């Protein structure tokens, strides 16, 4: 799957852009395992400056703490790939931006990095909206590194769209 192809733009990004424009909202992304691919996919659409506020690529644990305010003790006690960390990433993206909605992802894309209880393909995703409860979910994707990252991007865009539509 080419993340910047017309199918992705048609299925997820264009409807997301429409939903954001209707509400006058902007989004921020906080990415670890996708390394900025969600932001790149969003900004591949012409006119995205109307609704895309910023992206945080926080691949290292230090970046999660420094850029998003994730408590280092949460990373140490839960691991970077955890519900506590991804929720803090999403909340931190809102705190450190003017966005109305944020998505965060952290995971193990592989081929290495697996630990007991967290195999390759493990991903945590969270969406946050100002004035609403942050939502998170645990996902598992099959395939190689490229596939895991592509699937993460697609689900992240889908969840952002859901949040914008009020789901």
What lies within 8 Å, CB to CB, of 93 at 6+ separation is 28, 29, 30, 56, 68, 99, 102, 103, 104, 128
- For the domain spanning 6-164, the CATH number is 3.90.950.20
Kindly state the tokens that stand for 97: 């931006």
Residue 10 is predicted with a pLDDT of 73
Residue 154 is predicted with a pLDDT of 93
Residue among 48, 37, 47 at smallest CA distance from 1: 37
Q: In what order do the strands lie in the sheet with 135-140?
A: 52-57, 27-31, 101-107, 122-129, 135-140
Residue 73 is predicted with a pLDDT of 97
Q: Is the confidence at residue 39, as pLDDT, over 90?
A: yes
Residue 1 is predicted with a pLDDT of 41
pLDDT digits (tens, 9 = 90+) for 89-118: 999 999 999 999 999 999 999 999 998 899
List the chain domain ranges.
6-164
**Side-chain half-sphere of 82: how many Cα atoms within 13 Å?**
18
Residue among 109, 99, 94 at smallest CA distance from 32: 109
Residue 167 is predicted with a pLDDT of 58
- Residues making up the chain, counted from first to last: 167
Q: What is the pTM of this model?
A: 0.95
pLDDT digits (tens, 9 = 90+) for 9-30: 678 999 999 999 999 999 999 9
Residue 60 is predicted with a pLDDT of 97
């Amino acid at each position: 799957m080419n993340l910047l192809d017309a199918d992705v733009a048609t299925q997820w990004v264009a409807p997301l852009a429409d939903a954001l424009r209707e509400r006058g909202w902007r989004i921020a992304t906080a990415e670890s395992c996708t390394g900025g691919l969600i932001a790149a996919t969003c900004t591949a659409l012409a006119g995205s400056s109307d609704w895309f506020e910023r992206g945080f690529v926080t691949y290292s644990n230090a970046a999660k703490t420094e850029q998003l305010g994730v408590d280092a003790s949460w990373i140490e006690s839960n691991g970077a790939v955890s519900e506590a960390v991804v929720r803090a990433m999403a909340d931190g993206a809102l705190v450190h931006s003017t966005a109305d909605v944020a998505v965060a992802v952290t995971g193990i894309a592989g081929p290495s990095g697996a630990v007991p209880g967290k195999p390759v393909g493990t991903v945590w995703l969270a969406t946050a909206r100002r004035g609403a409860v942050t939502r998170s979910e645990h996902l598992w994707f099959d395939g190689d590194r490229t596939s895991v990252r592509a699937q993460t991007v697609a689900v992240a865009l889908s969840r952002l769209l859901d949040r914008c539509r009020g789901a």
